[in-house]
Structure 1
Amino acid sequence: MRSPATKLAIGLLLSVLTKYTHATCKAIPGDPGWPSVQEWATFNASLDGVLLKPPPPGGVCHPGEPNYDPALCPNVTALWTTSFPFHEDDPISNAFNNWNNDSCLPYPQAPCSGEGYPIYVVNATKPEHVQKAINFARERNIRLNVKCSGHDYLGRSVAPNSLSIWVHNMHGIELHDSFVPQRGGKNRSCIPEGLDPFTSAITFAAGDTNGDLYAAANTIGMAVPVTGGHDVCYGGYVTGAGHSILGARHGLAADLVLELTVVTPDGNIVIANSCQNRDLFWALRGGGGATFGVIVSFTLALYPDEPTDLVVTGIGPIVNNSVHFYDAAAYAFTQYPEIVDQGWAGYGFVQPSNSTVPGVGSQFYVDWFGLGRNATQLIELATPIANYINATWPNEFGVEASVFNFPSFYDFWAANTDTGSPVGVDIVIGSRLLDKTAIDNPNLASYLQRAVIPGGQLTEYMVGGPGVHNKPPSLNAVCPAWRTAYSHSVVGVGWVPFQTAMETQQLSDLNVYVEALTELAPDMGAYVNEADPFQENYHEVFWGANYPRLLAIKKGVDPCDVFWCRACVGNEGWQEVGGQLCRV
């Protein structure tokens, strides 16, 4: 028989669970359930004073905003579209304006409010800060947001009326000559599938970036898969899968994870690896971030860096408005898988142009990278492509090839940070993974023509490769389409803020481009970190046959939906309504 005190405790617990499990909407300022000023102050004290209430960064250009400073406005305006670290270093800013509804751009003629941003931010520097933030949000039914760098094409790092966990300042890198995952007290083998647990490894924190990791690994001659942007946080990259030039040889970033430390939605700090919390470990390697909890520490396998040859191959029309441009580009594309199978990886581009100047603009080219390989091999593989194009369409195309040698891939990468990707703009991208069946389609030329943005380009990341293909689809939650993909093909559109008609047209055009790629590869999927956030059937497109298991794991670790983000696992039961997150 239960005592009266036990019955009372159970009754209170049930009432709390009922209140927050069945609440119609997450609390927002002005609601009876929103914490009082004193409650926020008490919460801040428990965090050692790291709770922030930041104003919109663009407010420096707007009289009446608390951070208005006309002397700073020109500098912020200049940095807004040219400096990714500016947005990364701000607790609530993000790289793409449309995800906070252009609510406060640093232009005096634009409106300004904080409506598109989080209300409070926990500037987390240790796991306990993350733990307390999760508990506070869960107990008070407040929407949670997680941000590191803010470089997120799906807008998952900013949320209105939320409490945001900013992990940007969580740092700590440790290199290991060998690493064996923790067994959790169980006397059994803990060998990750497909990986040698005694390999060299790197442990890092949630705020560490691609540049931080690779620079550290380079000190011992080792390498990690990386994006083009040095300042992008590694955590969001690896949880989405993480493609790279290096990964084409050694696997996706998610394939190399040995162990994770996670703060779960119930506020516990747990270790996830092949021996303990196995389902969570499987889900976090490719299932997306800000969904199953907050990863505060990662351990990733390393492998030796190698001398690298970069061979830039370009083919462009030497006649105006060549009617065979897409035919030639399609033929070249069909030959690329053979090059990838030989161990090369590349960033390819199809760039048509309406230029009236001969040879200007229109071209298709690939920056091919060979790790530990001689450029002569690539020239031998690429020469037949050029010969076929010149023989089939004589006097229509010019061919160029340039060779560059680097002592290691790090030497190339460190000197060539990505400065071309736009920031501080309104943009949405779409993508599709293409396998050899798609690339060999006899109508490939027409599909390419439909998918390429007029006056823009189609990007072909040729980063599938043997290292990705030789991993079993069951290894982790990565979209199974990666295991047969050769190209991650990407298109993107942008628009001028507040130009509604232009935005509508651009998004409609994006649907056309992505539809062409989807028809070309109907049985494939898309890379979740670089995909259309408005993609239909996105759960299946981003995770394929893995989605049912992912959803079951999500419901198991987060039954009350403490974490929610757009185009994420388990988000079906909620929608954003006027800046508030509500049940559907």
Structure 2
Amino acid sequence: MHCLLARHFAHHRAIFARSAFSTQRVDARASNIWDALNSTVEGRLRASVPFARPCFTLASVDIGSFNPIECTNITQNYLDHFTRSRTFGAYMNTQWETCQQRSTQCLLDDTLPNNTAAYNPPQSCAQGSIPNYYVEVAKVSDVQAAVVFAKNNSIPLVIKNTGAGANFDVLYQFADANNITLPGAEDLTVGAGGGYLMGGGHSALSPVYGLAVDRVLEFEVVVASGQVLVANRCQNSDLFFALRGGGGGTFGVVTQITTLALPQVSLSTVVVGYQSTPEKERAFVEFLVEHAMEYANQGWGGYATPKTGLILTTPLLNLTAAEAAMASLQNFTNNTLGGFFTLNSYPSYLSFFQTSLAPYPVPVGLPFIFASRLVPTANFETKKNRNLLVEAMIPSFETASLPIILLVAPYLYNYQGGTSVTDAWRSSLWHVAIADFWNYDTTYGQREQIYASATSSMAPLRALTPKSGAYQVGIFREIQNAMY
């Protein structure tokens, strides 16, 4: 098994993947075909090990070695976004590091990474789903060589999205320095030209400016034959359509994209926080549902978590207009939730991100299950429909570890067609999701139950929105018309 990591923007180096804790080269025991590939890519073929391998004294054969010094570094950075982004053997969500069917893994305790019970005997490190080899790519021809090698030798090939190219940390800084706006993910380490883009790509500005696939103008991609193709509206237009929403890594390895930048915009932003109780959570959801159409027409986008609060922003209202628009939310926060309410204006997307989103990072380094549903506008248009929507969401919100309401549908965007992302995006107002987590010592049976619970928890909302779809594909067995 091999892992490919693609370059996403011009002038950014592409790699298959590189480990911060192991730069071990494939040794002389590799077969002739691997030696040939290693020669073709100028010695950049690597043997890969799970991220936490140095902490374990017991491990499967030929997957690295115990190293207490490296282990200290790993335990200190186990939950760090940037470390996981640049490390080959580490994924943001660690269920993808495990072989879930066999429950073989190499994980630490995500609640306390230096907990020795997770990695001392009898715990053992296994390869899990981490590929055995990867290529550190320095040029597009390395990608071609790997793709052709995998094809000719019937070797499974997968693409690791981050570690190369431009992530949103780089792009937000670049955009701000050049007085433009590049809307993007709520986490800085997301690869801007990978699965985020090719799966649709939503942001807090999507209600006004559309999804990421709506703004992409061109792809450079290595396809399964090993050819490098340019896909846009004028050439390879069928591939261009497929890449605009058909899923990350589905049709090839994207090595470069060209996307439409927006003028720099100022953003009026509201942040609400409160100490939750079941009664307050229900009141919060009811309030948001009741005002959803109003907020959508004003261009508000962002993220709400019924257990903690919300962050919403709009480029369409100045601070005075935003104060008037959010007066009812401020009163509700003060009088019903007993929480805090702030409203500010920011001169750019970067300043909004650094002040409002960065303090609340998405958790990484832990395994989880994610179920979601796009909620159509029709579910908000009558009092009856709004009541039904609340009743469908509340039970799952009460039981889920992390319920999320994402106000990211492209409601005001003038869609011109040409994307393969699910049509449900175009008729929806909200993206509703629930997440549940487990740990290294959760049994296989318990994990099965967590998956089953997440699937059943979303069933009422799924039944209420039969013609909609799901954006995420975290539940393998969920019947959904995701993406295309």
Instruction: Call closer, same or farther: CA 1:435–1:370 in 2, change over 3 Å.
Output: same
**Partners of 1:85 and 1:408 in 2: CA distance:** 23
TM-score between both structures, scaled by the size of structure 2: 0.82
1:58 aligns with 2:44: no
Shift in Å at residue 313 of structure 1? 4.0
Corresponding residue number in structure 1 for 2:451 = 507
Which amino acid letter does the alignment assign opposite residue 326 of structure 1?
Answer: R
Shift in Å at residue 413 of structure 1? 1.4
Assess if the C-alpha contact under 8 Å between 1:225 and 1:242 holds in 2: no
**Partners of 1:47 and 1:332 in 2: CA distance:** 54
Shift in Å at residue 136 of structure 1? 0.4
Structure 1: runs of 5+ lacking an equivalent: 1-34, 150-167, 170-206, 352-362, 548-584
After superposition, where does 1:253-402 map in structure 2 within 5 Å? 253-313=212-272, 322=279, 326=282, 329-351=285-307, 365-371=309-315, 373-384=317-328, 397-398=337-338, 400-402=340-342
Which of 186, 200, 211 is the equivalent residue of 1:252?
Answer: 211
Corresponding residue number in structure 1 for 2:363 = 422
SS in 2 for 1:429: strand
Corresponding residue number in structure 1 for 2:435 = 492
Corresponding residue number in structure 1 for 2:189 = 231
Shift in Å at residue 62 of structure 1? 1.8
Assess if the C-alpha contact under 8 Å between 1:226 and 1:243 holds in 2: yes
Which amino acid letter does the alignment assign opposite residue 202 of structure 2?
Answer: H
Assess if the C-alpha contact under 8 Å between 1:386 and 1:399 holds in 2: no
Which of 444, 461, 465 is the equivalent residue of 2:389?
Answer: 444
Shift in Å at residue 520 of structure 1? 2.6
After superposition, where does 1:73-222 map in structure 2 within 5 Å? 73-80=71-78, 82-101=79-98, 103-106=105-108, 107-109=118-120, 110-149=123-162, 168-169=163-164, 207-222=165-180
Structure 2: runs of 5+ lacking an equivalent: 1-28, 99-103, 109-117
SS in 2 for 1:443: helix
SS in 1 for 2:392: helix
Which of 442, 462, 481 is the equivalent residue of 2:407?
Answer: 462
**Partners of 2:359 and 2:40 in 1: CA distance:** 40
1:407 aligns with 2:347: yes
Larger Rg computed on CA atoms:
1
Identity of matched residues, %: 27
Which of 520, 534, 555 is the equivalent residue of 2:476?
Answer: 534
Shift in Å at residue 321 of structure 1? 5.8
Give the number of equivalent residue pairs: 429
Corresponding residue number in structure 2 for 1:154 = none
Which amino acid letter does the alignment assign opposite residue 126 of structure 1?
Answer: K
Give deviations 1:27-58, integer Å, cap 9, x for gaps.
Answer: xxxxxxxx961221121111111111122221
Instruction: Call closer, same or farther: CA 1:316–1:516 in 2, change over 3 Å.
Output: farther
Shift in Å at residue 315 of structure 1? 7.2
Assess if the C-alpha contact under 8 Å between 1:311 and 1:375 holds in 2: no
**Partners of 1:255 and 1:531 in 2: CA distance:** 21
Give deviations 1:174-206, integer Å, cap 9, x for gaps.
Answer: xxxxxxxxxxxxxxxxxxxxxxxxxxxxxxxxx
Greater mean deviation of Cα atoms: 443-452 or 255-264: 443-452
Which of 36, 47, 56 is the equivalent residue of 2:41?
Answer: 47
Shift in Å at residue 88 of structure 1? 1.7
TM-score between both structures, scaled by the size of structure 1: 0.69
Which amino acid letter does the alignment assign opposite residue 178 of structure 2?
Answer: I
Instruction: Call closer, same or farther: CA 1:369–1:141 in 2, change over 3 Å.
Output: same
Which amino acid letter does the alignment assign opposite residue 66 of structure 1?
Answer: G
**Partners of 1:67 and 1:47 in 2: CA distance:** 26
**Partners of 1:303 and 1:321 in 2: CA distance:** 41
SS in 2 for 1:310: strand
SS in 2 for 1:291: coil
Corresponding residue number in structure 2 for 1:431 = 372
**Partners of 2:278 and 2:171 in 1: CA distance:** 46
Give deviations 1:198-227, integer Å, cap 9, x for gaps.
Answer: xxxxxxxxx211112222222220011211
Shift in Å at residue 463 of structure 1? 1.5
Shift in Å at residue 508 of structure 1? 2.0
**Partners of 1:268 and 1:395 in 2: CA distance:** 62
Assess if the C-alpha contact under 8 Å between 1:327 and 1:445 holds in 2: no
SS in 2 for 1:86: helix
Assess if the C-alpha contact under 8 Å between 1:47 and 1:129 holds in 2: yes
Quote the RMSD (CA, aligned, Å).
2.6
Shift in Å at residue 111 of structure 1? 1.6
Give deviations 1:158-184, integer Å, cap 9, x for gaps.
Answer: xxxxxxxxxx33xxxxxxxxxxxxxxx
**Partners of 1:274 and 1:344 in 2: CA distance:** 31
**Partners of 1:96 and 1:465 in 2: CA distance:** 27
Assess if the C-alpha contact under 8 Å between 1:343 and 1:465 holds in 2: no
SS in 1 for 2:437: strand
Assess if the C-alpha contact under 8 Å between 2:297 and 2:412 holds in 1: no
**Partners of 1:252 and 1:325 in 2: CA distance:** 29
Shift in Å at residue 285 of structure 1? 0.7
Shift in Å at residue 518 of structure 1? 0.9
**Partners of 2:261 and 2:469 in 1: CA distance:** 28
**Partners of 1:397 and 1:347 in 2: CA distance:** 18
**Partners of 2:374 and 2:474 in 1: CA distance:** 13
SS in 1 for 2:415: coil
Instruction: Call closer, same or farther: CA 1:385–1:436 in 2, change over 3 Å.
Output: farther
**Partners of 1:231 and 1:536 in 2: CA distance:** 28
